[in-house]
Amino acid sequence: MKKLFLTLTAAVAVTFAANAQTEKGKTILGGNVSYDYTNVKDVDGSVQGFSILPNVGVFVSDNVAVGLGIGYAWNQEDDGTEKAKLGQFVAAPYARLYKGDGDFKFFGQVSVPMAWGNSKVDDTKISKSEHYGVELAPGFAYFPTDKIGIEFSVRGLYYQNASTTPEGGSKTSTNSFGLNANSLAPKIGVQFYF
């Protein structure tokens, strides 16, 4: 009887720990860091980019988190004669809903990515840019411990409006809309739950 009681107590503790990550009042920390470099053989020039977007969120109720990511993105195209650079301040508020019990939970995240920046050629400002969008991304999280979640997600459904205003010129805008659910190229990440 004592072994049965201890086994049931352990099972309840493991179940509670697995569900504790997404309780009201908990905090979620994570983010994205990326670096890309492209160089074509026998051609002068290269393209490189860097971005960092840490994020923090709070569970406002069980399985519902709201948060904000704030960061910076930088790109440079060097054709051998001049360097074109784009630096942008990035903000991405989001809301996330988790479904499921135990160590695996599915989630849906809606985010509103925004970016503002300047383009320069050889350190001379040539234009300013603005990006506004909305994304709906599905995924699932695996919780190997009560403080760590390993996530797999795809970009999902998205819309983006990008505008560029050249120095002394008029604004041009581009709208993008799409569905990107490529399961062969998921985003993989780690989030921390406190």
Over residues 129-155, the mean pLDDT reads 91
pLDDT score, position 78: 86
Q: Are 92 and 68 in contact, with CB atoms under 8 Å apart? A: yes
Q: What are phi and psi of 172, to 5 degrees?
A: -120, 140
Give me the CATH number covering residue 155. 2.40.160.20
pLDDT at 188 over 60: yes
Read off the pLDDT of residues 22-48 as tens digits, 9 standing for 90 and up: 899 999 999 888 899 998 777 778 899
- Per the model's pLDDT, the better-predicted residue between 129 and 16 turns out to be 129
How many angstroms from the chain centroid is the CA of residue 101?
24
pLDDT score, position 71: 96
- pLDDT range class, residue 190, cuts 50, 70, 90: confident
d(CA 105, CA 69): 22
- pLDDT range class, residue 7, cuts 50, 70, 90: very low
Read off the pLDDT of residues 84-136 as tens digits, 9 standing for 90 and up: 899 999 999 999 999 998 889 999 999 999 999 999 888 888 899 999 999 99
* Domains identified in the chain, total number: 1
Residue carrying the six token digits 């989630």: 107
The mean predicted confidence, pLDDT, of the chain is 85
Of 86, 75, 80, nearest in space to 47 by CA: 75
Residue carrying the six token digits 């990326």: 34
Domain range for 153 is 2-193
pLDDT at 20 over 80: no
pLDDT at 14 over 80: no
pLDDT score, position 185: 65
From residue 3, give the alpha-carbon distance in Å to each of 10, 12, 15, 17, 151: 10, 14, 18, 21, 36
d(CA 55, CA 63): 17
Residue carrying the six token digits 């659910």: 181
pLDDT at 2 over 60: no
pLDDT at 174 over 90: yes
The H or E element containing residue 4 is helix 2-20
Quickly count: other Cβ atoms within 10 Å of residue 27's Cβ.
Answer: 13
